[in-house]
A and B are shown apart, each in its own frame.
Chain A
C-alpha cells in the first residue's frame, strides 16, 4: 500500500511539472515579445530591450521557468500589474469562493447521480432506465451558459426566487442555497450525465457477474445482493469518474462564474487571460492543476483501499 501511494505521488508530481511548464510556456511564449506587448507598437526597440531585460524575459525559457517555479513554491507570487494587488491573497481568495460553489454542486449531485444511475441499472432496459439514460445524454450535450440562461430567466427573473447574480454566501443555510443553487445547476447537469452513466454501466456489469449470480442462487434477499455484492464493485469506477470530473468542473466554473458574476477563480482566469495579466494567470491556472492532481490522487488511493486487486497489481 505504501509503495502504491508513493508511486502515485511520484506520478502526480511529474505530471505537475509537465503541466506547470506547459502553462508557463503557453502564457509566456505564445504572445511573442512580452515587452513589445506591454509597451505597444510605438515604443523604440531600445525601450523594449530594456524592459525585457528588467522583466527577465530575455533569459532562456527554462531558466525563466525555474525562477518562476521557485518563486511560486516560496509563496512569492508577485503583484498584478493590471489590478495592482498582491497575487497570492487574490488567487487564494477566489479559489476558496470557487471551491465553495463546486463543493456545493458536488455534494448535491453526486448522491443523486449515483442513486439514479444504480436505479437505471436495476431497471435495465425498462422505462426508468430509458428516461434516466436519455436525460443524462441530453444534459451532457447542453453548454453550461445555455442551461444557466434558462434557470436565470425562469427562477430569477420570472419567479424572483433567486438573485440574478450570485455572491459568496454567508454561513447560514438559506443564504447558501439562495446564492449557490442557480449557478450550480448548469454544473450539476453535466456532472449528472457523466456520473449517472458511469454508475449505471458499473452496476450493469456487476449485475451480470458470476459472484452476483452466486449470491442470487444461494438465496440472498435482493437488498443484500445489491448492497453487499453489486454496489461495492460497481461504484469503484464511479469514484474515478467523479475525480476526473473535478477537471471538467473547473472549466465549467469559467463559464458559470462569468454568467452569474460570481467572484471565483474561473472568472479570474478568464479576465487575466484576456487582459494578459500573466502574474495572476499563471499561479491561478497552476492552482487549478494542483487541485485536479490532488483530487485524482485521492481517488486513486481510495480505489486502492477499496479494491485489493488494484494495489496488489503494482
Chain B
C-alpha cells in the first residue's frame, strides 16, 4: 500500500526533500491507475456505471420523448419500435423515463455518500488518533446503532422530518457517518503507531495537523474502498426509500418510484416495472464491481 514509502522516508533523520515524496506519490498513483486499467472487474463495472452517469448528465438530449410528457391515447402500450420499453399508465415513454431516472439516484446517492465521508473521516480521525473515553463511548454507540434495522430508523426519521430528497440525503449521510468512521478509525489506529507520526510529534506538530497532513494522505486507500462500497449501499438505500414513497415524489422518473407505481399494473404492463428494475440492478452491480476492482488493486 501507499503507506510504506512515506513512513520510511519520514523516519530518516533530516527527512527527504518534499519534491521526492511528491514524485514517489505520483509514481505510485500511476502504478495504481495502470492496475485499475488492467483489472477486468473494475473496467466492466466502470463501463456499466459510465452509461448511467452519461444518461444522468445528458438525458435532456438523449431521450426520444419528454420523460414527463403524458399521452392519454397511448397508455400501457407494450414495447414496440416507437416505444422501445413501452409506455406507462399515463402514456409516458418508459425508455425515456429509464434514461432520465439515472439523474435523481445519481444525485442523491453520491451526495449522501459525500456527507457520510465528511462526517466519518472527521470522526474516525478524532477517535482513532486521540483514543480515550470518547473513543470508548463512540464504539458503544455505533454498536447500539447497528443493533437497529437501519431502514426502520430511516422510515421513522423521514416520516417525522418530511419526505424529500434532501432529507433522504441527510438520513443516509448521518447513518453512514458512524459506519465510515469505524473503518477510518481502524486504519488510523494502525497508522498512528508508525515512525512518521512519532517524528511529526517530536517536531512539535499539533494533533489536528498530524491527522490531516500526515495520517490522512496515508489512509486514502481504505477510504476510497469504503467510499465506493458505501456509494453502492447509498444507491440501494436511496432507491429503496423512493420505492417506499419516502423520497422523491411523482412525477419524477426515479427508478424506485417507477417500480412502486408499476406495482399496480404489473399483471397488464410488466414492462413498466422490469426496465427501471433492470437499470437499477446494472448500476448497483457496476458500483460493486468497481469497489471490488479497487480493493484488489490496492491489495496487490
Known: A18-B144, A153-B273. A141 touches B288 (CB 8 A): yes
**A251, B256: Cα distance in complex, Å:** 16
B161 at the interface (CB under 8 A from A): yes
Residues A254 and B232 in contact, CB atoms below 8 Å apart:
no
**A281, B153: Cα distance in complex, Å:** 12
Known: A153-B274, A157-B270. A251 touches B152 (CB 8 A): yes
Known: A143-B236, A146-B277, A150-B277. A255 touches B156 (CB 8 A): no
Interface size class of B (residues with CB under 8 A): 35 or more
B81 at the interface (CB under 8 A from A): no
Question: Which of B5-13, B197-205, B239-247 forms contacts with chain A?
Answer: B239-247
The smallest beta-carbon distance between B118 and chain A, in angstroms, is 23
8 Å CB interface, A261-314 against B? 269-270, 273-274, 276, 281, 285, 288-289, 292-293, 296
Residues B149 and A250 in contact, CB atoms below 8 Å apart:
yes
**A281, B159: Cα distance in complex, Å:** 11
**A22, B96: Cα distance in complex, Å:** 43
Q: Which residue in chain A gives the minimum CB-CB distance to B163?
A: A274
B33 at the interface (CB under 8 A from A): no
B281: chain A residues within 8 A (beta carbon) = 142, 146
A92 at the interface (CB under 8 A from B): no
8 Å CB interface, B5-23 against A? none
8 Å CB interface, B260-300 against A? 260, 262-263, 266-267, 270, 273-274, 277, 280-281, 284-285, 287-288, 292
A128 at the interface (CB under 8 A from B): no
**A248, B149: Cα distance in complex, Å:** 6
> What are the interface flags for B131-156 relative to A under an 8 Å C-beta threshold, 1 for contact and 0 otherwise?
00000000000001011111111011
Residues A143 and B239 in contact, CB atoms below 8 Å apart:
yes
B277: chain A residues within 8 A (beta carbon) = 145-146, 149-150
CB contact between A19 and one of B144, B157, B263 (< 8 Å): that residue = B144
A146: chain B residues within 8 A (beta carbon) = 239, 259, 277, 280-281
Residues A137 and B280 in contact, CB atoms below 8 Å apart:
no
* Extra 18 A-B pairs, beta carbons < 8 Å, given A31-B160, A285-B156: A15-B144, A22-B148, A26-B153, A137-B288, A141-B232, A143-B240, A146-B281, A149-B266, A149-B277, A153-B270, A157-B266, A247-B148, A254-B155, A255-B151, A258-B244, A270-B244, A293-B147, A296-B147
6 nearest A-B residue pairs (beta carbon): A30-B160, A251-B151, A273-B159, A251-B149, A149-B277, A250-B149
8 examples of A-B residue contacts, CB within 8 angstroms: A19-B147, A153-B274, A158-B270, A164-B266, A247-B146, A251-B149, A255-B244, A270-B155
On A, residues with C-beta under 8 Å from B are 15, 18-19, 22-23, 26-27, 30-31, 137-138, 141-146, 149-150, 152-153, 156-158, 164, 247-248, 250-252, 254-255, 258-259, 269-270, 273-274, 276, 281, 285, 288-289, 292-293, 296
